[in-house]
Every structure is written in C-alpha cells, then in structure tokens.
Chain A
Amino acid sequence: MKNQFIMAVLATVLASVGSDAFAAACVANAIFTAPGPAAGNTCSGTDQLTDVCGDGTPIGGAKEFIYSVSLGATNSAAFTVNSPGVAGAGTGFNPYVAFMSGAACNSLDTCATNNAENSGNAQTNVTVGPTANAPAGTYFLVITDAGAAANCGPFTVALAGTLPVTLQKFSVE
C-alpha cells in the first residue's frame, strides 16, 4: 500500500514535470525532406508557441504546424507556403511562416537566416529564405496564422534550392 502511494505521488510529480518543465519547447509535426513539396493542415497541429524568433514575434493562439529541416553545409533553400482555402476555422488561414534555428524547437530559437520571417493572405504564396549557406544544422519551419486564433486549414510547402541529399538506401556488397 505504501509503495502504491509512493508510486502514485511519483507519477503525479513526473506528470507535472512533463507538462510544465518542457512544455514551452515545441515538437515538430513532421520532417521536411527534399525535394518536396509537402502538404499539411495546421488544424492537425497544436498551439505550442505564443512567440517565436527569440520571443521577438508574437504569433497569437492559432494552431501551428512545424517541420524539422536539416540543412547541410552548402544550402540555398527557400520555402513557399500557400493556404489554398479561405481564412477561417478549418477552411484556410493567412500564413505566417518562420524559419528558426536551434537544436531544440523552442520560442527562443533565432530567426537569423536571410528573410527568415514572412506573412501574407490566404491563397497567396508566402516565402522565407533563401537560406544562402546558413550554418549546417537543424532548423524549424513554423507555419501558422498570426492573426485569428481560430484560423487553420490545409497548405502546401514547396522547396526551391538545395537541402542536403537524403540517404535513402545504402548497402555494402
């Protein structure tokens, strides 16, 4: 009985740590791989962040869809997001796009690459980059509506330029 009580308390503490201590960090919804394009829906994401780019840009309460992107040593990648629907709950959104650098997805990640933030209306192309040989590493492409919290919907992401080549298969014979 005593052990059960201890375990219950421990579970509560761990649950608390899980929801609080690491919650401000964000989790990527998918990995973006070259050559793209990719399709997604911000309605299937969650509202993980209220600010991005070193807490320098408030993005409000709309759901985000976040891609993890790996850049190689030589890169020139531009990402163009289009929300084909009409801005509204479940139908479309006015894209805000940020390309953040950081080993872990976090609101303090910086947006230091070339043209790392952009926004526009639904049914228009919103582009960030090109990265212009940004330092190799992990980046996060954040897609959301920075205006109305209810707005979400489908989108496409097109890549122009180069990411590292993804190794699909390797064998030694």
Chain B
Amino acid sequence: MKSFKMKALAVAVLGLTGLGMAGSAFATCPTDPAQSGGGPWSSKAVTQAVQAIVAPGLNATGCKLQVALNQGSALFAKSTVTDTSPVDEPRYRARFYIDTSEISGLTSVLRSVKIFDASSTTGPAGLSGEEVRVQLSGTTGAPTAVITIANSTQTSGFSQIPVALPVAAGVNRIEFDLTQGTNATFRYWVTAATTVTTDAAPTGTITGVNNTGWSGVTQASMGEFGANNGWRANYTSSTHLYFDEFDSRRQTFIGQ
C-alpha cells in the first residue's frame, strides 16, 4: 500500500494516496484504513454502517474502500475516512475514484448522500465549515455529483454545480482545484476513470469566488455520510459505494 504524506509547505505535494496498491488484483488488502490500524488515513468513522477494504482497486490498483449505510439508519449514520494533514490551505487540490455500479434508482433529489467534503476550521456564522462538498444524487436514474463550494458572493453562502457522472454505472474520477481569496477560482474535472485529463482543460470552472470567510481546508473526509431520509430508507448495507486513489496536493495537477 502506498501511503505518502508531506506537510512541509515548501514541498508542492501534500499527498495521501489512500487506498492505492499497485500490482496484483489478488493482493491481500489491509483491514483498517486508519493510522491507528496501520492505514494511511488520520481516522475513520463507522456508525450504523459498514466499511471494508476489498480487492481489486479502481485504477489498476489492488484494493479499494467499500462503504454503505445500514437500511433505515439514523441521520448520523456514516462510513468515512478522514485526512487531517492539511492546515488552513490557501490552495487545495484533491482527486479520487468512485464506483457507483451498485447504486440504482437515483430518481429523486430526496435520495442523496455526501461522498466527500473538505472543511475549514472556521467559517461565517450560521454556515457550514465545508469549503467543498460533493454529494451523490440524481433525478433520471443516473448518478450526479452535486458539487457545493463556499462562496460568500452568493446570498446562500455557497455555489452549487450538478455534474452527471459520465459512467452511469461504473468508475469515475473526480478532481478539483480550489484557491482562497476574494476573487478565488474553483476548477473541477469529472470524467470516466479511463479518460485522460489535463490541468488546462477542466470540466468546468467557477471564477469570482469569495471564500475569505473560511479559513482554508484543514481536513477532508470521504465515504458515505449526511445521507437524507430517502437514501437511508432505500439503500442497504449491501449497496456499496467504492473509493480509491485519493490524493491531495497544494499546487500540481493530479490527473490519472
């Protein structure tokens, strides 16, 4: 398993290649993603949910993270891994692979679950500390990544972009690049896992973002959490989402 972290500001990479494991699809997977159990993540949370590391991975890797919430679970059900190595980052880039092939019936916004967030320590009164949030939802049966970013130029305090996943039942790659400031930029790439991407050609860009009220990304969580009633009622501990190859950096493009 590759586990790589650097906190020195002089180094451009702040990487956490969470569950990447190059080599055989029959690799023996670790049992615990958290550092307390030998894994690369700062911590994990499993409440009324399941979490495992299973083979094969999603990017020619050996293993991937498997998560699901129990059917009928409470609003605080979660199955997540968390990285607390960022420190009020003025620029934060992250990328992960997600497999949604076991999730069908996404025909209502009332079925949604949070799959990723990047939070700051502080934020404006009455608003979430999340600077970037990615939820999985859908209205046509196909999954959509609903990306929400902190933006005080909006009355609501955030901007939201729904992006249909190019591979409706399979593996996609999500990457973003967030800067801090009164005229900050958020760029995102949402592609099939096999699609080659470049720094110069994001799927979309939001300019003129004001996120100075937030203190910069200081932790990131990935998995299933913050699910609404429809998700918790309809999906079971056997309808999993899979994640792999999380990486976060300060400057450089990540891509495949």
Contacts and interface: CB of A to CB of B under 8 A. Distances in A.
Nearest to B219: A108
Nearest to B78: A56
Contacts of B117: 55
A48 B117 CA distance: 20
Contact of A21 (B45, B82, B215, B218): B215
Contact of B76 (A21, A55, A96): A96
A93 to B, nearest CB: 14
A110 B124 CA distance: 20
B45 A54 contact: yes
A119 B229 CA distance: 14
B233 interface: no
Chain A CB within 10 Å, residue with most, of B82, B114, B129? B129
A16 B124 CA distance: 10
A100 to B, nearest CB: 12
A50 B150 CA distance: 14
Nearest to B220: A55
Contacts of B177: none
B2 to A, nearest CB: 25
B163 to A, nearest CB: 21
A12 interface: no
B119 interface: yes
Interface residues of B, number: 32
A96 B127 contact: no
B221 A96 contact: no
Given A112-B43, A119-B74, A55 B121 contact: no
B130 A117 contact: no
A23 interface: yes
B10 interface: no
Contacts of A98: 76
Contacts of A111: 45
A57 B119 contact: no
B239 interface: no
Interface of A: 19-25, 47-48, 50-51, 53-58, 96, 98, 106-108, 110-112, 117-119, 146
Given A23-B124, A58-B114, 9 more contacts: A23-B123, A24-B122, A24-B127, A24-B214, A51-B128, A56-B45, A58-B75, A58-B226, A108-B119
28 contacts: A19-B124, A20-B124, A20-B212, A23-B122, A23-B124, A24-B120, A24-B124, A47-B126, A48-B125, A48-B126, A50-B127, A50-B128, A51-B226, A55-B119, A55-B129, A56-B76, A56-B221, A56-B225, A57-B75, A58-B128, A96-B75, A96-B76, A98-B76, A106-B121, A107-B119, A107-B129, A108-B119, A146-B75
